[in-house]
Amino acid sequence: MSSDQLPRNQLVFIGRNLNTESIKTQLIECIAI
Protein backbone atom coordinates (compact mmCIF):
# COMPACT_ATOMS: atom_id res chain seq x y z
CA MET A 1 0.00 0.00 0.00
CA SER A 2 1.47 3.34 -1.01
CA SER A 3 1.11 6.14 1.51
CA ASP A 4 0.44 8.47 -1.43
CA GLN A 5 -3.02 6.95 -1.87
CA LEU A 6 -4.32 8.14 1.50
CA PRO A 7 -3.67 11.88 1.09
CA ARG A 8 -5.17 11.84 -2.40
CA ASN A 9 -8.45 10.29 -1.26
CA GLN A 10 -8.56 12.70 1.66
CA LEU A 11 -8.02 15.69 -0.62
CA VAL A 12 -10.77 14.53 -2.98
CA PHE A 13 -13.11 14.04 -0.03
CA ILE A 14 -12.31 17.50 1.31
CA GLY A 15 -12.68 18.97 -2.17
CA ARG A 16 -16.19 17.60 -2.56
CA ASN A 17 -17.32 18.90 0.84
CA LEU A 18 -15.55 22.26 1.14
CA ASN A 19 -15.03 25.27 -1.10
CA THR A 20 -11.89 25.70 -3.18
CA GLU A 21 -10.74 28.46 -0.84
CA SER A 22 -10.96 26.11 2.13
CA ILE A 23 -9.00 23.49 0.19
CA LYS A 24 -6.22 25.97 -0.56
CA THR A 25 -6.05 26.94 3.11
CA GLN A 26 -5.90 23.31 4.22
CA LEU A 27 -3.29 22.46 1.59
CA ILE A 28 -1.11 25.37 2.69
CA GLU A 29 -1.49 24.30 6.32
CA CYS A 30 -0.60 20.70 5.44
CA ILE A 31 2.49 21.80 3.53
CA ALA A 32 3.46 24.18 6.33
CA ILE A 33 3.29 21.30 8.79
pLDDT digits (tens, 9 = 90+) for 1-33: 455 666 677 777 766 666 677 778 888 888 876
Report pTM: 0.34
21 near 12, Cβ under 8 Å?
no
Q: Report the pLDDT value the prediction gives residue 22, as an integer from 0 to 100.
A: 78
User: How distant is the alpha carbon of residue 14 from its chain centre?
Assistant: 6
Q: At what angle do helices 20-32 and 5-17 cross, to 10 degrees?
A: 150
As a residue count, the chain comes to 33
Query: Contact, 10 vs 23, CB < 8 A?
Result: no
Asked whether the beta carbons of 14 and 23 are under 8 A apart, the reply is yes
